Chains A and B, each alone.
Chain A
Amino acid sequence: MRLARPLIIFMGLVLVWQMIVTISAAPPYILPGPLAVAKAWVHAPGLFLHHAAITGAEIILGLGLGFVLGAGSALIMAYFRPAERWLLPVLVISQAIPVFALAPILVLWLGYGMASKVAMATLIIFFPVTAAFHDGLKRTEPGWVDLAITMNASRWAILRHLRIPAALPVLGSGLRVATAVAPIGAIVGEWVGSSGGLGYLMLHANARVQVDVMFAALFTLCVMALVLYFIVDKGVRHVVSWQPESLNFN
């Protein structure tokens, strides 16, 4: 059932899609049916896979970089109190700038290649990861900290053996959110200016009124985002398997 459920949901959604197309009688240049989109995909799978690889690499690089930078900032803030006092307000203020508005500037600075998209994805991921991990590191159960202090633990040992592991579930939630939003960063970056990737392919197809190609690109992106999310989710569950919720005690 665990494998069947996503398949049933997928089939259901495709069915709803086909029904909307049939009932509304929308012309194919507005809303192509699932069959037309599937045909477009099968017609040139190499095209979609090529651009998916570019976007996928941008997303994964951005996710990795955003995660490392975000987790690192949270750790620095947790360990050095002055860093927290100075860095936290800057972080909060930085969130007032819509990341989308930075896309043209990043393309200007970093060029049409992958770097500007990776930077976009990194920026979008950085904050949820930092905020979640920082929160988790600050909310260590006080009883545990007391116990560690009576055991003569140094601040560093408390961070390493207590606060970091205790914050992992919250960091995991942050990473899940980050994984869900990472494709946005990459795609917006591609829309602003690029020479490859699924966002580029969609814009390109749009200009030529190849709506079926646009939808096929979108579909490819969705599948990629879902697969990435499930991999990250599985990884997070594995790392924090000690959490009572995931032990299935019902």
Chain B
Amino acid sequence: MNQTTHSTAPGSSPIGVHLSNAHVRWGAEVLFDGLNITLATGQWTCLLGPSGVGKSMLLRLILGLSAAKPGISGVVECSDGAALPGRVSYMAQRDLLMPWLSVIQNVCIGSRFRGEQQNFEAAHAHLKAVGLSDSVDAMPATLSGGMRQRAALARTLMEDHPVVLMDEPFSALDAITRVRLQDMAAEALKGRTVLLVTHDPLEALRLGHSIHVMSGRPARVDEPLVLSSDVPRHVDDGEILALQGELLHRLAEAVE
């Protein structure tokens, strides 16, 4: 399988995102208390941390999915001063393809939801970019896990937003498929501001420009590990191999 992925630059100019003063109270438990995180413009920010620390909650806060619930607050600001909703797309661990729609209909689901004209031409191009040209009309149930997640990536690209939030999108895939999808996503999302929540230090090191470890209760986000080289980095890149030890060390501290 040798696909060339073309980066599809976002339709609008890139923006940075800053979440500040996030508070989340869940019953008696305080998950976040004055938590801050910055997603640098046009870069990949990776977020690692033990299960249950609130990584997904942080993502939901930025997405605006948890707003207006009691005990949950936080300010999301964009570098251009405008609001984030409508300019961010979301990719989850599960592909969230609708089983009653074909692959291309799934890729176009956003316009269907908004009552807009569906642009099948663009959908075809995105499906080609993720190597699914032959499965355009297939039903999701007939695809493998890797193909389904590639369809979900095409759906994310179709939304064409400058900010993309991903919640462990590759974690359910086998090692080889995962590496391929990481490469594909890094290429395709070039120039966009990405937040990637992951469990996998190697994945963070391959894709992240800055890597945060989140830990504690209430949770804190530590000073990021900053890597300046281009993504995706090669799996045997000397820099990431050297940093893997340090990152694992930080993660181990986070769990304690």
Within 8 A of A (CB), among B133-164: 139, 141-142, 159
Given contacts A143-B96, A150-B90, A242-B100, A157 and B63 within 8 Å (CB-CB): no
Say which residue of B99, B109, B112, B159 sits within 8 Å of A244 (CB atoms).
Answer: B99
Which chain B positions have C-beta within 8 A of A243?
Answer: 99
Given contacts A146-B90, A150-B88, A243-B99, A161 and B65 within 8 Å (CB-CB): no
Contact (Cβ within 8 A) A150 B141: no
Contact (Cβ within 8 A) A151 B159: yes
Q: A250 on the interface (CB 8 Å rule)?
A: no
Query: In this complex, what residue of A is CB-closest to B90?
Result: A150
Question: From residue B244, how far is it (CB to closest CB) to chain A in Å?
Answer: 31
Contact (Cβ within 8 A) B98 A152: no
Question: From residue A138, how far is it (CB to closest CB) to chain B in Å?
Answer: 18
Query: In this complex, what residue of A is CB-closest to B65?
Result: A146
Interface residue SS majority, chain A: helix
Which chain A positions have C-beta within 8 A of B27?
Answer: none
CA distance A152 to B83 in the complex (A): 13
Q: B113 on the interface (CB 8 Å rule)?
A: yes
CA distance A66 to B81 in the complex (A): 54
Q: A144 on the interface (CB 8 Å rule)?
A: yes
Contact (Cβ within 8 A) A158 B113: yes
Contact (Cβ within 8 A) B98 A153: no
Instruction: Supply 19 further A-B pairs (C-beta < 8 A) apart from A146-B92, A150-B63, A151-B159.
Output: A141-B96, A144-B98, A146-B65, A147-B96, A149-B64, A150-B89, A151-B89, A152-B110, A152-B113, A152-B114, A157-B115, A158-B113, A161-B109, A161-B112, A162-B98, A162-B113, A165-B98, A242-B100, A247-B142
Within 8 A of B (CB), among A20-52: none
Can you list, as one digit per residue, whether each of B108-120 has a CB less than 8 Å from chain A (1) or not (0)? 0110111100000
Q: A168 on the interface (CB 8 Å rule)?
A: yes
Q: A148 on the interface (CB 8 Å rule)?
A: yes
Say which residue of B60, B98, B113 sits within 8 Å of A151 (CB atoms).
Answer: B113
Contact (Cβ within 8 A) B113 A148: yes
CA distance A168 to B142 in the complex (A): 20
What would be 15 A-B contacts, judged by CB atoms less than 8 Å apart?
A143-B94, A144-B96, A146-B63, A146-B65, A146-B92, A149-B65, A150-B65, A150-B88, A150-B89, A151-B114, A152-B85, A152-B110, A157-B113, A242-B99, A243-B99
Query: In this complex, what residue of A is CB-closest to B141?
Result: A244
Query: In this complex, what residue of B is CB-closest to A147?
Result: B96
Can you list, as one digit per residue, whether each of A130-158 has a CB less than 8 Å from chain B (1) or not (0)? 00000000000101101111111100011
Say which residue of A146, A147, A150, A165 sits within 8 Å of B100 (CB atoms).
Answer: A165
CA distance A146 to B62 in the complex (A): 13
Count, A-B residue pairs, CB within 8 A: 63
Which chain B positions have C-beta within 8 A of A141?
Answer: 96
Which chain A positions have C-beta within 8 A of B115?
Answer: 157
Total interface residues on B, CB under 8 Å, equals 25
List the interface of chain A (C-beta within 8 A of B).
141, 143-144, 146-153, 157-158, 161-162, 165-166, 168, 240, 242-244, 247, 249
Which chain A positions have C-beta within 8 A of B238?
Answer: none
Question: From residue B112, how far is it (CB to closest CB) to chain A in Å?
Answer: 6
Which chain B positions have C-beta within 8 A of A151?
Answer: 89, 109-110, 113-114, 159
Contact (Cβ within 8 A) A157 B92: no
CA distance A244 to B110 in the complex (A): 24
Contact (Cβ within 8 A) B114 A153: yes
Question: From residue A161, how far is it (CB to closest CB) to chain B in Å?
Answer: 6
Say which residue of B65, B94, B100, B113 sits within 8 Å of A153 (CB atoms).
Answer: B113
Which chain A positions have C-beta within 8 A of B109?
Answer: 147, 151, 161
Contact (Cβ within 8 A) B139 A242: yes
Best-surrounded residue of B89, B139, B141 (most CB of chain A within 10 A):
B141
Contact (Cβ within 8 A) B113 A161: yes
Which chain B positions have C-beta within 8 A of A150?
Answer: 63-65, 88-90
Query: In this complex, what residue of A is CB-closest to B112?
Result: A161
Question: From residue B196, how far is it (CB to closest CB) to chain A in Å?
Answer: 16
Which chain A positions have C-beta within 8 A of B94?
Answer: 143
Within 8 A of A (CB), among B42-95: 60, 63-65, 85-86, 88-90, 92, 94
